[in-house]
């Protein structure tokens, strides 16, 4: 028998505490706990960012970190959709629309070379011959299938694909596609529809299917004929499930029998093995069926218990030595005063909240340490809807509305223990403005103009004076109530009024249009960012909970706030944000929420020598 040292090339080390990480296969003896420790494989599903439009019966393709879904239906009876969404590993964003809206179709291929086959545009469901190809931007209609299909299953790539099975029937129909035309393929050994499938045209597989009763049959395809393989582990594995991976490393998950299923099974080319269950049992979902292994998978949308209303949920599967904790919002400490239209600056673990409005403009302030809020010295001048910048040790508040309702030019400085009036005022009174940066390098943008409309101007502060910065471009002019963040030389703002989906990036001298938000937010959007290339925007009027992340080009979905709100206040970063108070169109709250981006840690466990 080989020893550990012969296999790994190292001895088992004796340590007093576990290392934070290590090489694959490395083990050690922890003398403090008296245990043999090492990295271990873990399998789990985790919640992902929601799709932008809840739907089921979609076509889908790609890999788990670069997937797409297209078409589908939001409810039953079917009314087909045309929208496409793309997944970047963190969230979903809009792609090009299908030429023919439809549900109950299927797809394959990659995010830049996709294929959508069959489907039905409306109820009653009648299968169609529609076939479209995707280039990552737009869909193009191409040669249709020999006859109409729906609830067929597609696998392979855009230029070498297979469509297997269909409804009604079910049917054993199989068609091969070469990128320009369809030909009849080998007949399935078991007639069925609603099957799950993945792999390539010459090494593909199908499993499950055949409503109203499911089956557990698996078949392998070589491009011309089918061969029966090992049955799925569950005796009745249902139908309308998701799938991913090649013949020798496949994964099958979810589906429907008498209710939605959460089963997950992996295949090694000879047998199926049960794995970690999905967090939510679901059927008729999209899956990234062009993945190259069974160690990762993606489920998007679908029905729960075949109900008439589709879901927007996303789940991600991971089998590795890493434990993945999904991004999420969670409840934070309770703010000691209720308000909306307030301001905050700092980080998720060290923040100042100040001002706001209940029945009158407030001068109240509080400090946050990452778990609880405590009252802190009040503003010298009550304010709401102003701009802020800085840290808990060196902050700045500027502009806004002060009692009894005048547009404020005041600037107030925070030194970590008290507020002081700063003699260097803004050039014009305004409120609903955007602010970010530090106490000695702050940026003020736009806001409402007392003379009407919104300012298009910006001002920069260096600790000694305010100077004119770049102007917002475009026909809509300035913004009121936008969200965002960043620094004086790299900032982003979006949402607000008007043009609730527009965003602008600032490079320290000029503004340029950024990618459009997915969701129009109106006034009262909140945000957090480290730069114009890495940001989070959340909330907005009327009482929205939708969250989006930005990568410098495109906005994509993130987990939603627990409670929808606008005219709250936000600060922090795109992976560690804070949302404080708020609550339009009326009312206020003391609730605080914290956003934490996805994290990964090594799975370390005890081992025995027996």
pLDDT for residue 125: 87
pLDDT in the model for residue 25: 60
Q: What is the pLDDT of residues 45-62, one digit of tens each?
A: 999 999 999 999 999 999
Tokens (6 digits) for 335? 């703010």
Q: Residue 276 has what pLDDT?
A: 96
Residue 89: the pLDDT is: 95
pLDDT at 6: 56
Supply φ then ψ for residue 6, to 5 degrees: -70, -35
Q: What gap in Å lies between CA 186 and CA 503, rounded to an integer?
A: 52
Common-topology check for domains 44-326 and 336-596: yes
Q: What is the pLDDT of residue 605?
A: 73
Look at residues 591, 367, 588 and name the one whose alpha carbon lies nearest to residue 579: 591
Residue 609: what pLDDT?
62
> Where are the chain's structural domains?
4-39, 44-326, 336-596
Q: For the purposes of burial, counting CB atoms within 10 Å of the CB of 26, is it exposed (0-12), middle (13-18) or buried (19 or more)?
A: middle
Q: Write the pLDDT tens digit of every residue in 2-11.
A: 665 555 566 7
User: What are the C-alpha distances in Å from 566 to residues 92, 139, 523, 548?
Assistant: 23, 37, 8, 15
**Number of residues assigned to the chain:** 610
Residue 167's beta-bridge partner residues?
150
Residues of the chain with pLDDT under 70: 1-10, 20-25, 235-236, 475-476, 584-586, 609-610
pLDDT value of residue 9: 60
The class that CATH gives domain 336-596 is: mainly beta
Of 425, 402, 422, nearest in space to 414 by CA: 422
The confidence score (pLDDT) of residue 76 equals: 79
Q: Residue 506: which residues within 8 A CB-CB, separation 6 or more?
A: 443, 445, 458, 469, 470, 486, 489, 490, 491, 492, 493, 532
Domain 44-326 classified CATH 2.120.10.80?
Answer: yes
């Amino acid at each position: 028998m080989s020893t550990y040292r012969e296999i790994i090339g190292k001895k088992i080390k004796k340590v007093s505490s576990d290392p934070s990480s290590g090489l694959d296969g490395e083990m050690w003896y922890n003398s403090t706990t008296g245990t043999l420790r090492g990295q271990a494989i873990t399998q789990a599903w985790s919640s992902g960012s929601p799709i932008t439009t809840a739907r089921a019966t979609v076509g889908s393709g790609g890999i788990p970190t670069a997937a797409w879904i297209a078409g589908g239906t939001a409810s039953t009876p079917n009314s087909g959709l045309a929208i496409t969404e793309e997944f970047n590993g963190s969230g979903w964003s809009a792609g090009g629309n299908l030429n023919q809206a439809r549900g109950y179709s299927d797809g394959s291929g990659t995010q830049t070379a996709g294929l959508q086959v069959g489907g039905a545009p409306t109820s009653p469901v009648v299968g169609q011959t529609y076939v479209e190809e995707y280039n990552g931007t737009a869909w193009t209609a191409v040669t249709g299938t020999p006859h109409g299909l729906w609830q067929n299953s597609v696998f392979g790539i855009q230029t070498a694909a297979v469509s297997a099975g269909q409804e009604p029937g079910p049917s054993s129909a199989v068609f091969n596609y070469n990128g320009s035309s369809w030909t009849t393929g080998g007949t399935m050994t078991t007639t069925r529809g609603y099957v799950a499938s993945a792999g390539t045209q010459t090494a593909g597989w199908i499993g499950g299917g055949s409503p109203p009763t499911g089956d557990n049959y698996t078949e392998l395809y070589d491009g011309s004929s089918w061969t029966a393989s090992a049955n799925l582990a569950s005796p009745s594995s249902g139908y309308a499930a998701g799938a991913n991976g090649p013949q020798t490393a496949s994964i099958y998950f979810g589906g429907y029998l008498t209710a939605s299923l959460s089963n997950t099974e992996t295949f090694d080319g000879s047998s199926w093995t049960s794995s970690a269950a999905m967090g939510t049992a679901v059927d008729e979902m999209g899956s990234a069926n062009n993945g190259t292994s069974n160690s990762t998978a993606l489920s998007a949308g679908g029905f729960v218990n075949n109900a008439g209303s589709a879901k927007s949920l996303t789940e991600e599967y991971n089998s590795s030595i890493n434990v993945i904790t999904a991004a999420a919002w969670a409840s934070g400490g309770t703010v000691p005063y209720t308000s909306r239209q307030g301001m905050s600056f700092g980080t998720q673990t060290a923040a100042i909240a100040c001002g706001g409005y209940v029945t009158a403009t407030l001068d109240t302030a509080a400090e946050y340490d990452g778990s609880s809020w405590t009252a802190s010295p009040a503003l010298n001048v009550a304010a709401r809807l102003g701009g802020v910048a800085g840290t808990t040790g060196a902050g700045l508040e500027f502009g806004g509305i002060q009692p009894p309702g005048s547009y404020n030019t005041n600037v107030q400085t925070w030194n970590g223990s008290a507020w002081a009036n700063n003699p260097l005022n803004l050039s014009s009174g305004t409120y609903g403005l955007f602010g970010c940066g530090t106490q000695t390098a702050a940026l003020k943008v736009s806001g409402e103009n007392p003379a009407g409309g919104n300012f298009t101007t910006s001002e920069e502060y260096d600790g000694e004076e305010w100077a004119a910065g770049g102007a917002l471009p475009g026909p809509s002019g300035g913004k009121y109530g936008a969200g965002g963040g960043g620094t004086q030389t790299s900032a982003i703002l979006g949402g607000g009024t008007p043009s609730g989906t527009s965003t602008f990036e600032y490079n320290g001298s000029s503004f340029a249009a950024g990618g459009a938000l997915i969701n129009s937010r109106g006034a009262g959007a909140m945000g957090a960012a480290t730069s114009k290339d890495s940001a989070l925007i959340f909330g907005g009027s009327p009482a929205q909970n939708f969250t989006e992340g930005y990568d410098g080009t495109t906005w994509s979905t993130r987990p939603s706030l627990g409670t929808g709100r606008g005219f709250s206040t936000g600060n922090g970063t795109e992976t560690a944000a804070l949302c404080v108070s708020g609550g339009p169109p009326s009312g206020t709250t003391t609730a605080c929420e914290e956003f934490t981006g996805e994290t990964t840690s090594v799975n370390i466990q005890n081992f025995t020598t027996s």
